[in-house]
Amino acid sequence: MGTARAKTRTPRVTTADVVAFLSKEYGPVEWKPRNDPMSELVLTILSQHTSDTNSDRAFASLMRTFGTIERVGEASVEDIAAAIRTAGLAKVKAPRIKGVLEKVHREVGSYDLSFIGEMPLEDAKAWLRSLPGIGPKTAAIVLCFSFGMPAMPVDTHIHRVSKRLGLIGPKVSADRAHDILEAKVPPEQVFPFHVYLITHGRRVCKALRPRCGECVLAWGCPSRKLFEASSRSKPTAKSRRPAKR
């Protein structure tokens, strides 16, 4: 009997590869606290379904209008909505901000959320998610960017690139991806993994036209052949037939 031919395994990208290769591509990242936890929470609510530029402008307008988070908590929903109009969906976000501030003050007696930093990660997530309208992404952003805790925020870029690289299944939702990716990444690498994958999604692994030829992870990306085949099958501008009139 002849010996069975050994199967060659196609290399696959791991979460460790993401950090190793993209750190060389984009340079080192260093965690620094971005905002105090309550401000980060309000800013993240404002960022939902809009650009960073619009949410930053809306938060700046909120602070110019009211001066402090305490004053925002005392304001009416209508006045909050007027101050955050540049973020879009003000009629949805204003009552959400008001509801969060009311519940925090009712339970804590202030807007100081520093105590969350002393909680185990899962307890901290659960506490934040008990607030009205706060899901896994918002909770993870606050824990990651304000406390440096190893919570994995998954935005549209991370969700898209992780699916293309095969780090999560093709049908895994963004909400489920938080826990799946977090479990695969060592705690000390959660923040750089998050930053690198967002950067890569914005610069190279774009939503409509991923630049596979420029990707340092293309060697192990299961989606590369699909995108390259799709690109080759599309007619160029010169080869397209003129539309009939």
pLDDT at position 232 is 63
Cβ pair 144, 151 in contact under 8 A: yes
CA 223 to chain centre: 21
Residue 35 in tokens:
């905002």
Residue 19 in tokens:
């950090």
| pLDDT string in tens for the chain (245-residue length) | 444 444 556 789 999 999 999 999 999 999 999 999 999 999 999 998 888 899 999 999 999 999 999 999 999 999 999 999 988 889 999 999 999 999 999 999 999 999 999 999 999 999 999 999 999 999 999 999 999 999 999 999 999 999 999 999 999 999 999 999 999 999 999 999 999 999 999 999 999 999 999 999 999 999 998 887 766 655 544 434 444 44
Q: Which amino acid belongs to residue 108?
A: V
pLDDT at position 8 is 55
pLDDT at position 244 is 42
Helices (H), 136-188: 136-147, 156-165, 174-184
DSSP label at residue 135: -
User: So which residues are the catalytic ones?
Assistant: 137, 155
Query: Mapped to the 3 state alphabet, what secondary structure does 202-242 carry?
Result: HHCCCCCCCCHHHCCCHHHCCCHHHHHHHHHHCCCCCCCCC
What's the whole-model pTM score?
Answer: 0.85
- CATH numbers and ranges of domains, the chain: 37-147 (1.10.340.30), 156-228 (1.10.1670.10)
Distance between CA 209 and CA 224 in Å, rounded?
12
